[in-house]
Structure 1
Amino acid sequence: MNQNQRFLSLDVFRGLTIACMILVNTPGSWSHVYSPFLHAKWHGCTPTDLVFPFFLFAVGNAMSFAMKKFNTMSNAAVLGKIFKRTALIFVIGLLLSWFPFIKYNAEGNFVMKGLDTLRILGVLQRIALCYGIGALLVHYLRPKGAFIATCVLLLGYWAILWFFGGSDPYSLEGHIGLQIDLAIIGENHMYKGEGIPFEPEGLLSTLPAVGNVVFGYLVGRYVQQNRHARGMLLKLVLAGSMLIVLGILWGTVFPINKKIWTSSYTLYTVGIATLLLSILIYLIEMRNWRWGTYFFEVFGKNPLFIYVMSGVVVKLYFLFRLGEKNENMYSWLYNHVFRPAFGDYPGSLLFGIFHVLLLWLLGWWMDRKKIYIRV
């Protein structure tokens, strides 16, 4: 493996994740989405359910490179860096949730969006918390201690759900995390997409999600330390396969579930991510495969910025209304461009692909200008 190219497979993995995030978050119509591009209704795992945990895994993988400099920094400087990055990502998530800060009222006029119904948690907020907790575990407990602490978190989360949940502790209503979020955050500041106030990026379920970051760190560190060792890739494949099997076995008693981020889901998704990264390492670093990698590399060089911009573009669409039916621009594009040209389901998919390409052009321009936004 070439030392100077050690980031390429990581950039491709991370970029693939961002591209998939944009694709699954931007269908032309939620009524016309192919099943692999939908989340599981509750228990289970679809390809779409792999995207978010893969990104957390990539965050940990990147930490294994970035945190080397922590060894030369004072304790205060390390804490400052971790807390600053955590706070920045969290605040960006809040601002994206609030954006564009105005909305239509019942009379069709613009009014300011109040803070009384602002969703507090979300994807970026979970990334921030998982990074912060994961970075602290790795820095202060070192790899072995962080691994043990992560196992305790996964087992402890299972115990909390089992002992403090309702008669069906892994259900929407019986999940104790729901009660915690209602008590601390309040229903006005929670996601409403499940029929009741429920936060899929809730406080309690953030604990097992930290495992995706820590395991990503451990995998990245192992690859760096053993990049020239014989059998490195085989051991990585075996580890990934073992985690998948463990996740499936654990899932027989603690169902694989993204929305409450069960511990079995963490093991299962980390296992698949490890296998996918192993394939990329083999092709890119060992076989010098370069065909098509630049497309995903572009996303991987500015991942958080491009993800935020994907949300900004969609939210701006809803500010503009077009046509006789006064449709928002998002619906108008699908109903008057993509759906007539390609049909219901293909048009909805191509709508998402169009936005992947649109955001890629932004990333490509930034790469050409050597603009890399780090948080």
Structure 2
Amino acid sequence: MSYKKRIESVDILRGFTIMAMILVNTPGDWSYVYGPLLHTEWHGLTPTDLIFPFFLFIVGISIYFAYKNKPNNNSTYKKVAIRSLKLIGLGLFLNAFLPYFPFIQDFETMRFPGVLQRIGIVFFISSVLYLNCNWKGLLGLSIFILLGYWLFLGFMPFPNPNGITSTFERAPNNWANYLDLSMLGKHMWQPDYDPEGVVSTIPAIVTCVSGILIGKLLDGLTEIKWLFLVALTLLVSGYSFNTYFPINKAIWSSSFVLVTSGWGTLILAIIYYLKDIKRFEFGTVFKYVGMNAITIYFLSSLVTKTMYLIKIEADSNIHSWVYNAVFVHDFFGLKFSSLLYGLIVVVFYVLLGYVMYKRKIIIKV
């Protein structure tokens, strides 16, 4: 966000989101994790399911303030495209990277989608839309995508000889899963679906666009009640839509978009009221991470992957050795030990963010 007077609540929410993302991605032992720190198996919503849509929501807010005074010309599009390609490239690097020879994974089975890839694609499309549409156009397009996605997944006839109808379940006749498998084949997270797949990226764009619209609302906001009213509208409409199109992160359902954007708006409104209006002093620790959010997320993912892949013994790697040697004790429950490991990892990256912040090191991706 490159405007003179930064909205501190946005920086705080961004930093909190990245810290939460690191926490849920780095437990000591995946077999022992508290329920709220896991994604729901299919339909439903846990606190962990809020993290990625929150980040896309914040990307949308940042797009609004970064490009609101930028000209709609080739130079601006070039900058948008370069940043998008950087994000996609970093994501592909994470998927391909091996900390030993041959240093890259077998291309035949390497996963193509990922968190950074989705951020890059969504950032590019959302930025182009913002540069070419007013807020009414963005709102209308968002409604069209959410309703169209529901109608397509739920009612579009499915191509099969046995009369099997389309479904929202994790099944071969789910359109999102079916099309992703057709396009990506072995390059998916799971054999039958990918949570950052091609089809579900389309409604994810609406999550980002919702952030753009909230950014416009924040710009010159005079009464905080409007933020709370928008949050309430999104939450009520999302939970109501859940009856017809279940809340589901894996396929990024339309109800999931509405509910997560509603929660994002509500939490932002609370932070905005306390920090930007009442000027309460809190949340500085989150700003340290938020100023270099992508860099810190990338480094945490790279280090974690390296620790898992470098073997110490046949059945042990650096991660498991450190975890078992330092964090597993008789007086700790295994879930608590696993959580404690994740919290220590978060503290490490907060300290890294603090050092970068104090030295005025801001790496723009």
Same fold judged by TM-score > 0.5? yes
1:335 aligns with 2:333: no
Partner Cα separation in structure 2 for residue 92 and residue 4 of structure 1: 29
Tell me, yes or no, if the aligned pair for 1:137 and 1:149 is still in contact at 8 Å.
no
Partner Cα separation in structure 2 for residue 333 and residue 98 of structure 1: 25
Tell me, yes or no, if the aligned pair for 2:153 and 2:166 is still in contact at 8 Å.
no
1:311 aligns with 2:275: no
1:214 aligns with 2:212: no
Shift of 1:363: 1.0
**Aligned CA distance change for structure 1 residues 209 and 74 (closer, same or farther; 3 Å):** closer
Structure 2 residue aligned with 1:224: 219
**Aligned CA distance change for structure 1 residues 69 and 100 (closer, same or farther; 3 Å):** farther
Deviation digits for residues 242-287 of structure 1 (CA, Å, limit 9, x no counterpart): 1101000000010000001000000000001000000010010111
**Aligned CA distance change for structure 1 residues 74 and 239 (closer, same or farther; 3 Å):** closer
Structure 2 residue aligned with 1:60: 60
Partner Cα separation in structure 1 for residue 309 and residue 264 of structure 2: 37
Pick the aligned partner of 1:191 from 189, 199, 205.
189
Secondary structure, in 3 states, of the residue corresponding to 2:229?
helix
Shift of 1:134: 1.0
Letter of the structure 2 residue corresponding to residue 236 of structure 1 = L
Structure 2 residue aligned with 1:107: none
1:243 aligns with 2:234: yes
Specify which structure has the higher proportion of helix.
1
Deviation digits for residues 339-373 of structure 1 (CA, Å, limit 9, x no counterpart): 22633011000111011011111111111111101
Tell me, yes or no, if the aligned pair for 1:102 and 1:113 is still in contact at 8 Å.
no
Instruction: Within 5 Å, give how 1:1-375 maps onto structure 2.
Output: 5-70=5-70, 73-100=71-98, 102=100, 112-164=104-156, 165=158, 167-173=165-171, 174-186=173-185, 188-192=186-190, 196-226=191-221, 229=222, 232-291=223-282, 293-322=283-312, 326-340=315-329, 342-375=332-365
Partner Cα separation in structure 2 for residue 169 and residue 272 of structure 1: 27
Secondary structure, in 3 states, of the residue corresponding to 2:180?
helix
**Which portions of structure 1, spanning 4 or more consecutive aligned residues, are displaced by more than 4 angstroms?**
none
Partner Cα separation in structure 1 for residue 139 and residue 45 of structure 2: 25
Deviation digits for residues 121-147 of structure 1 (CA, Å, limit 9, x no counterpart): 111111111111111111111221111
Structure 1 residue aligned with 2:161: none
Partner Cα separation in structure 1 for residue 37 and residue 58 of structure 2: 21
Structure 1 residues without counterparts, runs of 5 or longer: 104-109
Deviation digits for residues 160-194 of structure 1 (CA, Å, limit 9, x no counterpart): 102335535101113211221122222x21102xx
Tell me, yes or no, if the aligned pair for 1:5 and 1:285 is still in contact at 8 Å.
no
Shift of 1:26: 0.6
Shift of 1:101: 5.6
Aligned residues: 355
Shift of 1:5: 4.7
Partner Cα separation in structure 1 for residue 167 and residue 192 of structure 2: 17
TM-score (normalizing by structure 1): 0.90
Shift of 1:225: 2.6
**Aligned CA distance change for structure 1 residues 157 and 321 (closer, same or farther; 3 Å):** same
Tell me, yes or no, if the aligned pair for 1:154 and 1:207 is still in contact at 8 Å.
no
Secondary structure, in 3 states, of the residue corresponding to 1:29?
coil
Tell me, yes or no, if the aligned pair for 1:44 and 1:255 is still in contact at 8 Å.
yes
Letter of the structure 2 residue corresponding to residue 24 of structure 1 = V
Partner Cα separation in structure 2 for residue 112 and residue 35 of structure 1: 34
**Aligned CA distance change for structure 1 residues 111 and 223 (closer, same or farther; 3 Å):** closer
Partner Cα separation in structure 2 for residue 239 and residue 248 of structure 1: 14
Partner Cα separation in structure 2 for residue 19 and residue 79 of structure 1: 31
Tell me, yes or no, if the aligned pair for 1:138 and 1:145 is still in contact at 8 Å.
no
Structure 2 residue aligned with 1:106: none
Tell me, yes or no, if the aligned pair for 1:138 and 1:146 is still in contact at 8 Å.
yes
Secondary structure, in 3 states, of the residue corresponding to 2:24?
helix
